[in-house]
A = this chain, B = another copy of it.
Amino acid sequence: MIYVGIVGYGTIGSGVYEVLGTNKDYIAKRAGEEVAVKYICDLRDFPGDPAEKLITHDFNDIVNDPEVKVVVETMGGLHPAYEFVKKALESGKSVCSSNKELVAEYGAELLALAKSKNLNFLFEASVGGGIPIIRPLNQALTSDEIVEIRGILNGTTNYILTKMSKEGESFEEALKGAQDLGYAERNPEADVEGFDPCRKIAILTSLAYGKQVDFEDIHTEGITKISKEDIIYAGAMNAAIKLLGSSRLENGSVYAQVSPIMVDTDHPLYGVNDVYNAIFLRGESLGEVMFYGKGAGKLPTASAVAADVVDAIKHKGTNIITIWDKEKIKLGDFGEMTNTFFVRVPAGEKEKARELFDIRREINAPAIDGEFAFLTSAMKEKDFEEKAAKLNVISRIRTAF
């Protein structure tokens, strides 16, 4: 019997408790041993909850119990999650975490600590919820350099964009609907401003290139400025607007960004709607692969954490090699990154726009007048900014085509 301690009994933590219980037999078979939760550490009490008797307010109960071999960290946030995870690893326990803030900030350090102790620090659920993506990046895509990652990494914003696209709702209407359904927080900033997917693309890029990418260094735009008109134009081009976390190897430099991107019907991310997430990768030899699934939600995310628990047990005494050095990648200067843009300007600036930009295609959308809209050819961000500053740009969205 292997004992587990869970730290943080919120949505994910209680989901992990549920999955480890419901799928007990199945998990015992896969892990090679029976698995049981011995403690749940939370500041709150849960009278009447099936796990009531396992609750402790003192994390030391878990750390000091030599029977506990695996600690599940599902509390979120940086502190005290960081201190708890460090202490657990120092006490000889492997840790499985769903905490993207923690992983983005301290992933390299905690992996090194786990390695030095012949333990494991696993975090499959920190990106893409239930979608297996961390493990494939670390274990399956190891023979070929990843040249591009593009991911729909946030279910809330994908739901909002899907509603805007399919129902013609405005951003505000769709956000309200997402909040009513519990998909969006009352304070939706982390989602709609792109901070959540920013941490996730930082984690994926760190793993793809084996060095630290700081999320603060990633150019990040959210979806708050996307208008009904932008959606109509996208439709006219058989495209959809998605909030993508992207990174790319270009002339030896790694570039990263989070921003709304138009993808057309030929792109596998086009059909990824509602709260679904998907991560699209391109390898030099491998070509394109994509991983798709529920990027959030109690049970999908908890399943991923529980699978980490199984993996930690299977690898008792063996560190699963994960390449993620503390040394920082020097990200390419965002101004040098090459992108293509969809641009709207007032109709009166048509000639000026034609002079300034190498226009690939002019776009007409039904029922939108008084504007001139076009697609640029590929150009550097800084060149775009310079030219766009000479016009009264109504909106501009990058494209993947």
Contacts and interface: CB of A to CB of B under 8 A. Distances in A.
Contact of A288 (B30, B139, B210, B294): B294
Given A143-B19, A271-B270, A285-B19, A30 B306 contact: no
Contact of A23 (B145, B210, B288, B292): B145
Contacts of A114: none
B289 A130 contact: yes
Contacts of A168: none
Contacts of A30: 142-143, 321, 323
Interface in A294-344: 294, 297, 299-300, 302-304, 306-307, 309-311, 314, 318, 320-321, 323
Contact of A292 (B142, B143, B284, B290): B290
B290 A303 contact: no
Contacts of A271: 268, 270-271
A320 B22 CA distance: 25
Nearest to A134: B140
A359 interface: no
A142 B289 contact: no
B140 A124 contact: yes
Contact of A314 (B131, B307, B321): B321
User: Which of A140, A141, A291 gathers the greatest number of chain B CB atoms within 10 Å?
Assistant: A140
Interface string A46-59: 00000000000000
Contacts of A321: 30, 32, 314
A77 interface: no
Contacts of A284: 22-23
Interface string A124-152: 10000011100110011111110000000
A77 B30 CA distance: 30
A136 B304 CA distance: 11
Contacts of A79: none
A20 to B, nearest CB: 8
Given A283-B303, A287-B300, A303-B283, A143 B293 contact: no
A294 B20 CA distance: 35
Interface string A18-49: 11101100110111100000000000000000
B318 A299 contact: no
A285 B23 contact: yes
Contact of A140 (B132, B309, B318): B132
A282 to B, nearest CB: 10
A394 interface: no
Contacts of A131: 289
Interface of A: 15, 18-20, 22-23, 26-27, 29-32, 124, 130-132, 135-136, 139-145, 210, 268, 270-271, 283-294, 297, 299-300, 302-304, 306-307, 309-311, 314, 318, 320-321, 323
17 contacts: A20-B143, A23-B144, A30-B143, A132-B140, A135-B136, A135-B140, A143-B303, A270-B271, A285-B300, A286-B294, A286-B299, A286-B300, A286-B303, A288-B292, A288-B293, A289-B291, A290-B291
Which 8 residue pairs across A and B have the least CB separation, nearest first? A143-B306, A132-B140, A289-B293, A290-B292, A285-B299, A30-B142, A286-B303, A142-B310
